[in-house]
Amino acid sequence: MPVQQMLDQAHRLPSIPKLVQELLQALDDPHADAGRIAAKLQLDQALTAKVLRLANSSFYGGTRKVSSVNDAVVLLGVDALRTMVAAGGVVAAFDAPDGFDLRAFWRRSFMVAGLCRWLVRRGRLRGLSAETAFTAGLLHDVGRLLMHTIEPERMREADAAVAAGASRGDAEQMILGYTSVEIGGALAQHWHFPDVLCAAVVDQPAPMAARVPNEYAGVVHVARACHLLLIGQQPLERLFGGAAAPVASWLELDAETLAPHWDEAAGLGQDIDALLA
Q: What is the mean pLDDT of residues 64-77?
A: 81
Whether 9 maps to a domain, the answer reads no
Q: Which phi-psi region, left, alpha or beta, contains residue 257 (left: φ > 0; alpha: ψ -120 to 50)? A: alpha
pLDDT at residue number 63: 60
Same domain, 79 and 188: no
Boundaries of domain holding 197: 97-276
Q: How many angstroms separate the most distant Cα atoms in the chain?
A: 54
Same domain, 118 and 24: no
Q: Which of 48, 63, 92 corresponds to the end of one domain?
A: 92
Same domain, 83 and 105: no
Whether 243 maps to a domain, the answer reads yes
Q: How far is CA 165 from the centre of its chain?
A: 25
Whether 78 maps to a domain, the answer reads yes
Same domain, 162 and 25: no
pLDDT at residue number 115: 95
Q: Is the distance from CB of 138 to CB of 87 less than 8 angstroms?
A: yes
How many other CB atoms are found less than 10 A from the CB of residue 194?
14
pLDDT at residue number 257: 93
Torsion angle of C-alpha atoms 150, 196, 189, 19, degrees rounded to 10:
100
Whether 4 maps to a domain, the answer reads no
Q: Is the distance from CB of 175 to CB of 168 less than 8 angstroms?
A: no
Residue percentage of the chain with pLDDT more than 90:
43
Residue 120: pLDDT above 80? yes
Whether 157 maps to a domain, the answer reads yes
User: Does residue 177 sit in helix, strand or coil?
Assistant: coil
Same domain, 179 and 250: yes
Same domain, 151 and 70: no
Lowest mean pLDDT among 33-37, 122-126, 154-158, 215-219: 33-37
pTM score, whole prediction: 0.85
pLDDT at residue number 275: 61
Of 230, 255, 256, 229, nearest to 243 by C-alpha is 229
Q: Which of 92, 111, 135 corresponds to the end of one domain?
A: 92
Same domain, 78 and 181: no
Q: Is the distance from CB of 108 to CB of 141 less than 8 angstroms?
A: yes
What's the rounded Cα separation, in Å, for the pair 176 and 170? 10
20, exposed or middle or buried, with CB in 10 Å at 0-12, 13-18, 19+?
Answer: buried
- The 8-class DSSP code of residue 96 comes to P
What's the rounded Cα separation, in Å, for the pair 50 and 88? 9
Domain count, the chain: 2
pLDDT at residue number 168: 92
Whether 5 maps to a domain, the answer reads no
Of 120, 130, 48, nearest to 85 by C-alpha is 48
What's the rounded Cα separation, in Å, for the pair 137 and 124? 18
Same domain, 133 and 258: yes
- State pLDDT tens for residues 155-205: 999 999 999 999 999 999 999 998 999 999 998 888 888 899 999 999 999
CA angle, 99 as apex, 275 and 88 as ends, to 5°?
20
Same domain, 126 and 231: yes
What's the rounded Cα separation, in Å, for the pair 104 and 114? 15
CATH of the domain at 171: 1.10.3210.10
Q: Which of 92-106, 150-164, 261-275 has the highest mean pLDDT?
A: 150-164
pLDDT at residue number 31: 79
Same domain, 80 and 112: no
Whether 7 maps to a domain, the answer reads no
Give residue 5's pLDDT band: very low, low, confident or very high (50, 70, 90).
low
Same domain, 153 and 230: yes
